Amino acid sequence: MVQSSLPSNEPLVTLSIVSHGDAEKIGRLLNSLRTCEQINQFHVILTDNLGDNLPSFDSSMGTSFEILRNQQPRGYGWNHNQAFRLVKTKYFCILNPDILFVQEVFRRLIALLETDKVGIVSPLIVDSSAVVQDSFRTLPTPLEIIRRKIPGYRLAPTPADADGLIRPDWMAGMFLLLRSETYRKLRGFNESYRLYFEDVDLCTRARLAGLKLLVDTNVRIQHDAQRASSRNFRHLLWHVESALRFYTSHVYWQALQNRSASTGQ
C-alpha cells in the first residue's frame, strides 16, 4: 500500500528509509535534514516494515513523501530495492532512520559523484561524541570478522588523502549515495542477504565494475551504532548466515583475485 504527497517541483535526490517502529527517530532525522539542506531537493520514500506503525508525515515544509507499508516484514535489501522501483530522481540515497544531519553534505557529495568513475559516496560518520564510526573498511576477511568480536578490538582508521578523501573497499549501508543509473546497473542489493553484508556485496560489485568508493571527511553526519548482532541472538544468526553467504560467493572470490593481481601476490 502506498501513500503519496508530492509537491509540483522536481526533487534531485530520493532518500530511502526503512522503519522498524522508528517514527520518532525518523521525525528527528527529517527535522535535521530541513535544518541543514534545501529540503525541496528531496523525495523521501519511507518503508514501514511493520505494516502500520508509521504515521503520515507533514509535507508542508516542502518535502515530498511516499510511505510503503509492508504486509509482512522484509529484508533490508528487499525494502530498498522496492523503494528504488519508484525512484524518478537522478540520485538515490540509502539512509538509516537513526542518522542525524549536522551540516550540509549533499552538495559536496553530488559533486564527487560527477567526477570520473566515482560510484558510491558517503560523508564521515561520527557518534554524538564526535568519535568516527566503523562505517568504512577494506575488504573484510573471515579472520577479521572473528577479531572484531574479541573484546578490546579497535578500528584502525584509514587515513584520508590531501583532499580529505578516503577510498575504502566498502562502506556501511547507514548512508550510501549514488546515481540512480548506477544502482540500476548494479541491480541493487542482493536480496538473498537478510540484514548483513548487503552493503559489502553491493560495494564489492561496484568496485568489480570499475567504480570508485569515496568517503569525504570534509563533511559529516551523526549516527550512534546499535550493534544489534552483539545483543540479539537472532541478529547474530543472520550475521553469521550472511557472512557465510558472502565468503562463498563468486563476488568475494573475484575481489580477492583482483586484489592479489594488483599486489602481485
Res 61 pLDDT > 60 = no
What are the structural domain ranges in the chain? 2-263
Mean pLDDT in the chain?
A: 87
Res 58 pLDDT > 80 = no
- Percentage with pLDDT > 70 across the chain: 85
DSSP structure class, residue 230: G
Q: 19 in helix, strand or coil? A: strand
CA-based nearest residue to 77, from 180, 193, 171, 186 = 193
Topology, domain 2-263? Spore Coat Polysaccharide Biosynthesis Protein SpsA; Chain A (3.90.550)
Q: Residue 126: beta bridge partners? A: 132, 222
pLDDT of residue 45: 95
Contacts of 204 (CB under 8 A, 6+ apart): 139, 169, 170, 251, 252, 255
pLDDT of residue 122: 98
H helix intervals, the chain: 23-36, 76-84, 106-113, 142-148, 180-185, 198-208, 233-247, 250-263
| Mean pLDDT value of segment 119-135 | 93
| Mean pLDDT value of segment 234-259 | 87
Identify the weakest region by mean pLDDT among 134-143, 150-159, 209-218: 150-159
Most confident of the ranges 139-148, 159-168, 217-226: 159-168
C-alpha cell read off for 229: 548482532
pLDDT in tens, 160-178: 999 999 999 999 999 999 9
The pTM assigned to this predicted structure is 0.88
Which residue do the cell numbers 550540509 mark? 104
Res 132 pLDDT > 80 = yes
Res 215 pLDDT > 50 = yes
Q: Could you tell me if 9 and 73 are in contact, meaning their C-beta atoms sit under 8 angstroms apart? A: no
225: pLDDT confidence band, cut at 50, 70 and 90?
Answer: low
CA dihedral 146, 258, 112, 117 (to 10 degrees): -160
CA distance 40 to 85: 21
Q: What is the 3-state secondary structure (H, E, C) of 113-172?
A: HCCCCEEEEEEEEECCCCCECCCEECCCCHHHHHHHCCCCCCCCCCCCCCCCEECCCEEC
Res 111 pLDDT > 50 = yes
4: pLDDT confidence band, cut at 50, 70 and 90?
Answer: very low
Q: Could you tell me if 148 and 98 are in contact, meaning their C-beta atoms sit under 8 angstroms apart? A: no
**How many other C-beta atoms lie within 10 A of the C-beta of residue 122?**
28
Distances (CA, A) of 107 to 91, 100, 162: 12, 17, 20
Identify the weakest region by mean pLDDT among 120-129, 155-164, 179-188, 211-220: 155-164
Residue type, 53: N
